[in-house]
Chain A
Amino acid sequence: MAVVQDVHGHHDHHPSGIMRWVTTTNHKDIGTMYLWFSFAMFLVGGFLAMGIRAELFMPGIQILEPELFNSFTTLHGLIMVFGAIMPAFVGLANWQVPLMIGAPDMAFARMNNWSFWLLPVAGMLLVSSFFVPGGAAAGGWTFYPPLSAQGGMGVDMMIFAVHILGASSIMGAINIITTILNMRAPGMTLMKMPMFVWTWLITAYLLVLVMPVLAGTVTMLLTDRHFGTSFFNAAGGGDPVLFQHIFWFFGHPEVYIMILPAFGIVSEIIPTFSRKPLFGYSSMVYATASIAILSCIVWAHHMFTVGMPTVGQLFFMYATMLIAVPTGVKVFNWTATMWRGSMTFETPMLFAIGFIFLFVIGGFSGVICAIVPIDIQVQDTYYVIAHFHYVLVSGALFAIFGAVYYWLPKWCGRMYDVKLANMHFWLSMIFFNVAFFVQHFLGLAGMPRRIPDYSLQFADFNMISSIGAFGFGLTQLFFLYIVIKCIRGGEKAADRPWEGGNTLEWTLPSPAPYHTFETPPVIK
Chain B
Amino acid sequence: MTQGVTKINLEMLKKLLIFSVIMFGFGYALVPMYEKFCEVTGINNLLQPDVVDKNIKVDMTRTIAIELDANVRGLPWQFKPLQSNVKIHPGESLEVMYEISNVSDQEISGQAIPSYSPRFLEKYMKKFECFCFTKQVLKPGETRQMPVKFVIDPQIPVDVNTVTISYTFFALQPGK
Contact = CB atoms under 8 A, between A and B. Distances in A.
A198 to B, nearest CB: 18
Q: How large is the interface on B (under 10, 10 to 19, 20 to 34, 35 or more residues)?
A: 35 or more
Given A212-B21, A237-B47, A246-B27, A110 B2 contact: yes
Interface string B94-133: 0000000000000000010100000100000000000000
Interface stretch (A63-71, A214-222, A382-390, A392-400): A214-222
A365 B3 CA distance: 48
Contacts, number: 108
A189 to B, nearest CB: 17
B30 A246 contact: yes
Quick one: which of B31, B34, B171 has the most chain A CB within 10 A?
A: B31
B52 interface: no
Interface in A7-54: 12, 14, 25-26
Contact of A177 (B12, B22, B73): B12
Given A170-B20, A212-B21, A178 B12 contact: yes
A208 B73 CA distance: 41
Contact of B20 (A212, A217, A239, A307): A212
B41 A309 contact: yes
A249 B30 contact: yes
Contacts of B113: 234-235
A109 to B, nearest CB: 5
B9 interface: yes
B86 interface: no
Contacts of A246: 27, 30-31
B82 interface: no
A174 B15 CA distance: 10
B40 interface: no
A104 B3 contact: yes
Given A208-B20, A212-B21, A235 B171 contact: yes
B12 A216 contact: no
A226 to B, nearest CB: 12
Interface in B1-49: 1-3, 5-6, 8-9, 12-13, 16-17, 19-28, 30-31, 34, 41, 43-44, 47
Nearest to B175: A228
Nearest to A173: B16
B23 A236 contact: no
Contacts of B73: 235
A479 interface: no
B13 A178 contact: yes
A108 B176 contact: no
Interface in B154-176: 170-173, 175-176
Contacts of A105: 2-3
Contact of A178 (B2, B9, B22, B173): B9
Quick one: which of A108, A178, A182, A214 has the most chain B CB within 10 A?
A: A178
B16 A177 contact: yes
Contact of B8 (A182, A211, A235, A236): A182
Contacts of B26: 212-213, 216
Interface string A366-410: 000000000000000000000000000000000000000000000
Quick one: which of B3, B173, B175, B176 has the most chain A CB within 10 A?
A: B3
Contacts of A216: 24-28
Given A228-B175, A234-B113, A210 B170 contact: no
Contacts of A228: 173, 175-176
A119 to B, nearest CB: 18
A208 B23 contact: yes
Given A110-B2, A178-B13, A216-B24, A236 B172 contact: yes
Nearest to B110: A235
Given A208-B20, A216-B28, A309-B41, A26 B170 contact: no
Interface in A170-185: 170, 173-174, 177-178, 181-183
Given A181-B12, A182-B12, A231 B5 contact: no
A208 B19 contact: yes
Contact of B173 (A183, A220, A236): A236
A101 B22 CA distance: 30
Contact of A213 (B24, B47, B119, B170): B24
A190 interface: no
Quick one: which of B5, B47, B175 has the most chain A CB within 10 A?
A: B5
Contact of B2 (A109, A182, A210): A109
A109 B24 contact: no
Contacts of B19: 208
Contacts of B171: 235
A107 to B, nearest CB: 5
Quick one: which of A25, A108, A210, A235 has the most chain B CB within 10 A?
A: A235
A12 B16 contact: no
Contacts of A418: none
Contacts of B44: 239, 241
A438 to B, nearest CB: 35
B6 to A, nearest CB: 7
Contacts of B6: 182
A293 interface: no
Interface string A182-215: 1100000000000000000000000011111111
Interface of B: 1-3, 5-6, 8-9, 12-13, 16-17, 19-28, 30-31, 34, 41, 43-44, 47, 73-74, 111, 113, 119, 170-173, 175-176
Given A177-B12, A183-B9, A307-B119, 4 more contacts: A174-B16, A211-B23, A236-B170, A308-B43
6 contacts: A12-B1, A108-B9, A212-B22, A213-B27, A236-B111, A246-B30
The 3 closest A-B pairs by CB, nearest first: A216-B27, A235-B170, A212-B23
